[in-house]
Copies of this chain bind each other. A is one copy, B any other.
Amino acid sequence: MKFSCQGLELADAVLKTVKAAAVRTTNPILECVKMVAEDDKLTLTCTDLELTITKVIRADVRVPGVAVIPAKFFADFASKISSETIEFNLRDKTLDVTYGDNNAYFQCQDASEFPEPKTLDQPEYVEVRSDNFKELVTKASVAVAQDDSRPMLRGILLEVTNGELRGVALDGVRMALIKKPTISQSAEFGLVVSARCLIEIVRLLPDSDQPIKICTQKNHLQITLGDSILMTRLMGMQSDYVSYRQILPKDFTTTINVNRRHILDTIERAGLLSRVDRNFVVKFDINGKDMVISSESELGNITEHLQTTHAGADLKIEFNGRLYTDALRVITDEFVQIRYGSAVHPCVIVPQEGEEYLYLVLPMHKI
Contact = CB atoms under 8 A, between A and B. Distances in A.
Contacts of A73: 272-273, 276, 299
A102 B300 contact: no
Contacts of A95: 300
Interface in A50-88: 70, 73, 76-77, 80-82
Nearest to A102: B304
B265 A82 contact: yes
A299 B287 CA distance: 70
A106 interface: yes
B269 A302 contact: no
Interface string A292-318: 000000111111110000000000000
A114 to B, nearest CB: 17
Copy number in this complex?
A: 2
Contacts of A302: 102-105
Contact of A81 (B77, B103, B269): B269
A101 interface: yes
Given A73-B272, A102-B305, A305-B101, A300 B80 contact: no
Interface in A257-289: 265, 268-269, 272-273, 276
A224 interface: no
Contacts of A268: 80
Contact of A300 (B82, B104, B276): B104
Given A81-B269, A105-B301, 10 more contacts: A73-B273, A77-B272, A80-B265, A101-B305, A103-B302, A104-B301, A106-B299, A106-B300, A107-B299, A107-B300
B104 A303 contact: yes
A106 B269 CA distance: 13
B107 A298 contact: yes
Residue with the highest number of chain B CB atoms closer than 10 Å, among A73, A265, A276: A73
Contacts of A105: 300-302
